[in-house]
Amino acid sequence: MYKNVLENINGVEIFPIISLIVFFIFFIVIVIWVLRADKSYLSRMSNLPLDGNNVQGGSK
């Protein structure tokens, strides 16, 4: 049933291509950001959840 619905939509074959292109652009941008990011910033952010001294908000 759904196959027949999608076959009747004009231009439906472009949507998977667009989504694949958007995914690869996002993936490449994230990889470039990780490779160019400051290593001290990444280290500080990776240890942030383990830092018990920096409690923000909330009640005790």
Residue 20, domain member (yes or no): yes
Residue 7, domain member (yes or no): no
Residue 57, domain member (yes or no): no
Residue 18, domain member (yes or no): yes
How many domains are contained in the chain?
Answer: 1
C-alpha span between 35 and 29 (Å, rounded): 10
Residue 26, domain member (yes or no): yes
- At residue 56, the pLDDT reads 60
Residue 8, domain member (yes or no): no
Among residues 45, 43, 42, the alpha carbon closest in space to that of 33 is found at 42
Written as one string, the DSSP assignment of 10-60 is TTTTHHHHHHHHHHHHHHHHHHHHHHHS-HHHHHHHHHGGG-SS---SS--
Instruction: State which H helix or E strand residue 7 sits in.
Output: helix 2-7
Residue 3, domain member (yes or no): no
- At residue 1, the pLDDT reads 67
| 8-41: pLDDT as tens digits | 878 888 988 999 999 999 999 999 999 999 999 8
Residue 4, domain member (yes or no): no
Task: Provide the residue range defining the domain that includes 21.
Answer: 13-39
Using a cut of 0.95, tell me whether the model's pTM lies above it: no
- At residue 6, the pLDDT reads 74
